[in-house]
Amino acid sequence: MFIIPKWRGHILKLANGDGDLTAAMLGKQCHYVLLRGEHPEVDSATRTLAGGWTLYTSKRPYQPCHPFLGVTYDPNERPSPYADYD
């Protein structure tokens, strides 16, 4: 499951037609996506609304995935003191 933080980009209309949740999440492969708020239905996934959240479940066969695949961690890296952390 991929729980989308407020800052993470996504384009739900890419999950329509021949698209899928991976396209909507801008390349991050996922079978389940949980978004805060009420969002529209898409062709490639079922939508469940619950308590102010929208859960999308892909209609395609499940494939194991890792949303942070390709992300590297540098222990010496420090965030900018001017970062926006609303």
Smallest CA-to-CA distance from 25 within 58, 52, 53, 49 is with: 58
At residue 80, the pLDDT reads 64
Rounded to 5°, angle at Cα 39 from 36 and 44:
115
pLDDT digits (tens, 9 = 90+) for 26-54: 887 888 899 999 999 999 999 999 999 99
Q: Which residues of 41-70 are buried (b: 16+ CB within 10 A; e: fewer)?
A: ebebbeeeeeeeebbbebeeeeeeeebeee
**Tokens 């407020």 correspond to what residue?**
6
Predicted TM-score of the model (pTM): 0.69
Q: Which residue has the higher pLDDT, 75 or 25?
A: 25
Instruction: Report how far residue 15's alpha carbon sits from residue 10's, in angstroms, rounded to the nearest whole number.
Output: 10
Task: Please tell me the predicted confidence (pLDDT) of residue 79.
Answer: 64
